[in-house]
Amino acid sequence: MQQNTITEQMTQAGQKIEHDSFAIVDQEVGTHTYSATEWSIVRRMIHATADFEFNGLTKFHPDAVSAGIKAISQGGHIIADVEMICVGLSKPRLSHFGVDTHHYISDADVISRAKAENSTRAVQAMRKAQHLGLLENSIIAVGNAPTALLEVIRMIKEDGLRPALIVGMPVGFVSAAESKHEAALLQDTPWIITQGRKGGSTLVVAAIHALLALAEQAAK
């Protein structure tokens, strides 16, 4: 397999550190139950957090990896629950595939509607994205707000929404584990989740960067 160029660190020193880190993760984990492509995602998540519990906590819909690669290769949208995900994703890597990112959590109309309806900004942000026609066939990335993930699940069940992939990894104590459990029950919508309370935007960014690398490999 050819070496990736677009989705690698920009310097040889950076590449060596990252590759050496991946090798340490591989060595310390040993055997695992993931496919090779799934493991490339989990390994990057462990690398980003130094938390080996994600070997096991990370779960995949059978079509998740292929769906993510396809969405990226076709230049799809990434809709995030928080700005942190959009900031964390590599602009050069995204632009190589023509992928753009969107978040609406801080928009004035989103805040006003959340106050008026006594809901959360995250719910209203996802509704705004849907109103703008951005959720269909997109990668929906949730790293912070369980209510965003629950709203997307509601849209799938009640409105017939069909995103390309859900990367659902909200962190926290209220509805975080429950929202991911509900996502994992979806059969026709691909998903990648972390079980339990653990999650976060850092993990979502790591997972998407791994998908970008897989998309680059698939294009060769």
| Active-site amino acid positions | 47
Q: Decide: helix, strand or coil at residue 26.
A: helix
Q: Which of 198, 191, 168 is nearest to 38 (CA)?
A: 191
CA 78 – CA 56 distance, rounded (Å): 26
Query: HSE on the CB side for 87, CA within 13 Å?
Result: 6
**Which residues, in sequence order, are bridge partners of residue 101?**
78
Q: Which of 11, 27, 69, 24 is nearest to 215 (CA)?
A: 69
Amino acid at 133: G
